Amino acid sequence: MQLSKDDFGADFTWGVSAAAYQIEGAHQTGGKGASVWDTFSNTKGKIKSGETGNVACDFYHKYAHDLLLMHQLHIPNFRFSISWSRVLPNGTGFVNRSGIEFYNRLIDFCLELDIEPWITLYHWDLPYELEKKGGWANREIIDWFNEYVQLCISRFGDRVKNWMVLNEPMVFTGAGYFLGIHAPGKRNLRSFFAAAHHAALCQAEGGRLIRSLKSDCKIGTTFSCSHVEPLTQDADDISAAVRMDTLMNRMFIEPLLGLSYPVKDLPLLERMGEFILPGDEQKLAFDMDFIGIQNYTREIIRYSRLVPLINAKIVSAGRRNVETTAMDWEVYPESIYHLLKKFGAYPGKTQLIVTENGAAFPDILSDGVVADEKRIKYLQSYLKQVLRAKQEGVNVNGYFVWTFLDNFEWAEGYRPRFGLVHVDFSTQKRTIKNSGRWYKNFLDAATY
C-alpha cells in the first residue's frame, strides 16, 4: 500500500525536530555560559571518540542557510530547543541580550519562511552554574526553571504558539544522575530520585506557568518511550517486563495525568518518598494540550537476579539477530503503534504528537548523493503504524522526524547520523539525502 500524507488528514502536523546542544555549536560565542553538556563533553573519556558539541553543525551561524534548506524541502514545522545558558549564562539573574537576539532572529526567519516554530524549553543542557548547586537534584530547580520559562515566554511568546516543557525527563535524569553516561555524569540513586521528582514537578509547574502567561498557545511535554515485551512467557520475565515498562514508559506521564507515581508496579519508586513534600501530589498534575511521544525501538526484557533494585535486564538487539540501526537499536515499526495505543488509552484522551522518530544508518556521501534508502523505508514503515493507530481511533495528530541535520549524538559523538540532510563536519557542507527528498515529495502530496 502506498503511504499518502492525505491519509493522515489535513490538520495533521508535519515537521522535523532538533535540539540546541546537538546543532548550535558556538559554545562560547555571544556571551553564552557553559552548560552541563559543555563541561561533560569537554571532559576526557565522557564521549566515545572524544568529540564535543563545541562546533556541532554551527547552526548558531548557519541557521539562515539551514532554514532556507528546510523551506526548500517544504517542511512546515520546526521543533528546536532554547539553550538555557545562552539566554541566562548563570542559569538565573543576568539576561544575555545576544542570546535573546539569536532566538529572535531564528524565530523571525522561521515565520518569514512560513515555518512554524515549536519550542522545547529544556532539551538537557542545564546551565553549569546550576549544576554546581546540585542541578536537578536540588529542589531550588523549580524556582530557577520558572524564572527561565518566564523569560522565554515573555520574550518569544508573542510569536511562538507551540511550547514543550521538557524533553524526555526519564533520559536526562536516568542517564545523567543514575547511569552517569550523560551530563552531568552522576551515578547516585538518591540524586536520580531527587532529580526525577523535581523534573516531574517542573514539567507540570512549567505548563501551569506558560498557561498563566499566555492563553493562546498549545502546551505539551515529551516522553521517551519504547514498547516493552518479556523475553519468554515465564512469570519472572513477565514481571521483569512490567517493572521495566513502568520505569521507561509510565513513571513521568502518570503523575502528570494525576495518577501518581506507579509505585504498585515498581515498588522501588517508594524511595522517592523522601523528596515528596506535602502538597506535591497535586502539583505534579497538569492538563497538557498535547503529549509528545518519542519512539525509536522496542525493548525485550528478561528477569535477572544480578541487576540490583529492578531485577530486570534489557536483552540487546545485537543478541537477538534482528535488523538494527547504527545505534544498535532494533528496527521494529509496531513499537510506535503499541505505544500510541497505550498512551491513547489513558483517561483524558489528551492529543498525542510524535515529536521524535527516526533512524541512524552509516550513510555514505558519494558524488553528492546519500542513497539512504534504509532510512526512507524505516520512516515509511513507522508512519504506517502511526496511521494504523490513528485509524483505530487514537488521537494522534502530528509527526516530527528526528532530525533535520546530522548532528552531535550525545555520548555517541558524531558517528550516528540521523539527519535528512548530511553534514560534512570538517567543511560544514550540507547535502540533502534521498530521505530529505522523499520527505519533500511526501509532504507535497495533494492536500484536501
Tell me the catalytic residues.
168, 356
Cell of 161: 504558539
35 binds ligand FCB per the rule CB under 6 A:
no
Rg of the Cα atoms in the chain: 21
404 binds ligand FCB per the rule CB under 6 A:
no
Residue 164 to residue 143: CA distance in whole angstroms: 18
Rounded to a whole number of angstroms, the minimum distance from the CB of residue 171 to ligand FCB is 5
What region, left, alpha or beta, does residue 440 occupy, with left being phi > 0 and alpha being psi -120 to 50 degrees? alpha
Rounded to a whole number of angstroms, the minimum distance from the CB of residue 418 to ligand FCB is 6
Residue 40 to residue 43: CA distance in whole angstroms: 5
Residue 153 to residue 160: CA distance in whole angstroms: 9
402 binds ligand FCB per the rule CB under 6 A:
yes
Nearer to ligand FCB by C-beta: 35 or 92?
Answer: 35
Q: Closest CB to ligand FCB belongs to which residue?
A: 19
The stretch among 157-165, 167-175, 376-384, 387-395 that binds ligand FCB (CB under 6 A) is: 167-175
Classify strands 116-122 and 77-81 as parallel, antiparallel or unpaired.
parallel
3-state secondary structure of 216: coil
Residues of this chain, 337-356, that bind ligand FCB according to CB under 6 A:
356
Residues 200-239, one symbol each (x = binds ligand FCB by CB under 6 A, - = not), give ------------------------x---------------
Nearer to ligand FCB by C-beta: 149 or 293?
Answer: 293
- What's the length of the chain? 448
Residue 325 to residue 120: CA distance in whole angstroms: 26
Backbone angles phi, psi at 294, to 5 degrees: -125, 115
Which residues does residue 162 pair with via DSSP β-bridges, in sequence order? 118, 218
164 binds ligand FCB per the rule CB under 6 A:
no
Using CA atoms of 383, 363, 55, 148 in order, give the dihedral in degrees to the nearest 10. 10
167 binds ligand FCB per the rule CB under 6 A:
yes
Determine whether 212 is exposed, middle or buried from the number of CB atoms within 10 Å of its CB (0-12, 13-18, 19+): exposed
Nearer to ligand FCB by C-beta: 231 or 331?
Answer: 331
Cell of 334: 509496531
* Edge-to-edge strand list for the sheet holding 298-303: 227-230, 298-303, 312-315
Rounded to a whole number of angstroms, the minimum distance from the CB of residue 229 to ligand FCB is 20
* Residue selected from 51, 299, 372, 409 as contacting ligand FCB according to rule CB under 6 A: 409
Residues 83-122, one symbol each (x = binds ligand FCB by CB under 6 A, - = not), give ----------------------------------------
Q: Alpha helices, DSSP H only, in 183-305? A: 189-213, 235-245, 253-256, 280-283
Nearer to ligand FCB by C-beta: 167 or 324?
Answer: 167
Residue 142 to residue 333: CA distance in whole angstroms: 37
168 binds ligand FCB per the rule CB under 6 A:
yes
408 binds ligand FCB per the rule CB under 6 A:
no
Residue 69 to residue 348: CA distance in whole angstroms: 39
**Per rule CB under 6 A, count of chain residues that contact ligand FCB:** 12
The stretch among 55-63, 166-174, 239-247, 439-447 that binds ligand FCB (CB under 6 A) is: 166-174
Omega before 403 cis (within 30°)?
Answer: yes
171 binds ligand FCB per the rule CB under 6 A:
yes
Nearer to ligand FCB by C-beta: 248 or 387?
Answer: 248
363 binds ligand FCB per the rule CB under 6 A:
no
Rounded to a whole number of angstroms, the minimum distance from the CB of residue 16 to ligand FCB is 12
Classify strands 162-167 and 116-122 as parallel, antiparallel or unpaired.
parallel
21 binds ligand FCB per the rule CB under 6 A:
no
Rounded to a whole number of angstroms, the minimum distance from the CB of residue 270 to ligand FCB is 27
Rounded to a whole number of angstroms, the minimum distance from the CB of residue 56 to ligand FCB is 12
Residue 119 to residue 184: CA distance in whole angstroms: 23
* Residue selected from 16, 19, 87, 379 as contacting ligand FCB according to rule CB under 6 A: 19
Nearer to ligand FCB by C-beta: 120 or 385?
Answer: 120
Rounded to a whole number of angstroms, the minimum distance from the CB of residue 114 to ligand FCB is 25
Using CA atoms of 152, 139, 27, 112 in order, give the dihedral in degrees to the nearest 10. -20
78 binds ligand FCB per the rule CB under 6 A:
no
3-state secondary structure of 98: helix
Residue 193 to residue 196: CA distance in whole angstroms: 5
Nearer to ligand FCB by C-beta: 17 or 85?
Answer: 17
The stretch among 6-14, 128-136, 402-410, 423-431 that binds ligand FCB (CB under 6 A) is: 402-410
Nearer to ligand FCB by C-beta: 156 or 408?
Answer: 408
Which residues are near ligand FCB by CB under 6 A? 19, 22, 167-168, 171, 224, 294, 356, 402, 409-410, 418
